[in-house]
Amino acid sequence: NKTFILVILLSESYGHCYEMWLGSKGLSLSPFHIRWQTSLFNRLFSRCARINPHALYLWFTSGLVFGLVSMCGSVVLLIRTLQQTVHQMTSDHPQGANQQTLQVVVPGINLPVSQLAYFFSALLVSGVIHELGHAVAAIREQVRVNGFGVFVFVVYPGAFVDLFTTHLNLISPAQQLRIFCAGVWHNFVLCVAALCFLFLLPVFLFPVYYTGAGALVTEVVQGSPADGPRGLSIGDMVTGLEDCDVRTVEDWNSCLTIHTHTPQTGYCVPTHTLQPSWAHGRVYRRLDTSIECCSNNSLTDLCFSYTKLQEKEYACLPARKMLSGSRVCRSNADCLTHTHLDTDPDTHSPSVCVTPSLENQTRLIRLTHPPNTQMLFVGYPPHLQYAVSLTNFAPRFGFLNLDLPVVMETFCKYVVSLSGALAVVNSVPCFALDGQWMLSALLEATLVTVVTDRQHRELIGFFLLLGGSALLAANVALGLWMVTAR
């Protein structure tokens, strides 16, 4: 028993020493939460706060105006987002789920695991810039900064500044607003800066990367429709999808959308190459009422339909051989001005417009990626978007990394998205967010002559915060349900 008591006492002693050691390093550990705080950056904050006082006054006053506008705008945006979410939940045919300005992000569900590094690093940068704004604004308004820190809650990183509350309560509401609005203001500025950098990225990389020649393949998913000996390879430059020119990734996406929502393209082929469908097996109708006229085990032949003497005929043709060099068409009239050379160069054969007989939503698409032969894709066009990764940037020199522009571009997009989201969410008049203190200071500055009783002003603020918190909670809860229910 004495030994057991001694072990407990030693454990408590070591535990107390361990806590003291963590405290001396600025570390704090609790379930699902790691926090580190330091005063090492206080001198840096002080230097920043002394740079051109008049310019900083205008800077943070602009932030005050932006913060108040964004507080109202964030409420309107949350109401609109909630309406869209409810409409999607109650609609039989929900559309535009990915077009919402604000979306709940759940790693591994609507955020690919491969993008987690971008997500967390952009979130950390956005949080640090946010808190930097608070710290510099506080020192400029003669409020002491106790320290700056970073934390990880579950898996989400963040940052914070510890301000001296007594100093904060002694300054005017307008000064408080400059401090409280500085965070969302700096997030907005970071968002705009990242957007400008993203827009000017082709100019910055022009000496080593060029754009406008096509969409460069940077990754091909193994086993996907784009994989294989006659598929796409890393480093290929895609320049066209059928008759749709591809100069950028945006063109690629646009062309795929066009082919998804328009009828299957036809091709001009010589009439003498058409063989009767019965030569390759029995013609039968699929479940979706489309016609199949080739053998089920054929990997090279495809069933085509064409019009002959006002009647629809079918022919099983070797797809790659027939479509090589063929012009696209919609009817036989498009092929009248086009002829194919026969085996005898002195003879010409009339052409007819043949259309692949495929299942609904399935398309046959020729991808041009010189100097290789055209790739033939048969399937649902959007699947190509998931099968390959593309970039607008092609290296001028062979030793350059293909992924460098992609990394820069993707990181900037995440900074734009997350920094903008932090600016919006933190502006909401909600408990524990910047919006709570922004609203409190605003009410003190505007209602002090109208509502003289401080408790009444606090009561008004409480109900406004309650409404804002409920609005944000409803958006998060329904957003999570929408994401996880799919």
Straight-line distance from the first to the last Cα atom of the chain, in angstroms, rounded to the nearest whole number = 58
- What are φ and ψ of residue 141, in 5° steps? -95, 20
Contact (CB, 8 A) for 185 and 66: yes
168 Cβ contact partners less than 8 Å away, ≥ 6 residues apart: 138, 143, 176, 179
| Residue 318, beta-bridge partner list | 301
Measured distance CA(85)–CA(482) in Å, rounded: 8
Contact (CB, 8 A) for 322 and 300: no
Per DSSP, 13 falls in state H
- What are φ and ψ of residue 379, in 5° steps? 165, -165
Q: Which one is catalytic: 12, 19, 131, 313? A: 131
Contact (CB, 8 A) for 393 and 216: yes
Token couple for 279: 């030569």
Q: Which of 483, 397, 485 is nearest to 102 (CA)?
A: 483
Token couple for 44: 């840096």
- Annotated active-site residue 409? The verdict is no
Burial profile 394-410: b = 16 or more Cβ within 10 angstroms, e = fewer: bbeeeeeebeebbebbb
Neighbours of 455 (CB within 10 A): 8
Q: Annotated active-site positions, please? A: 131
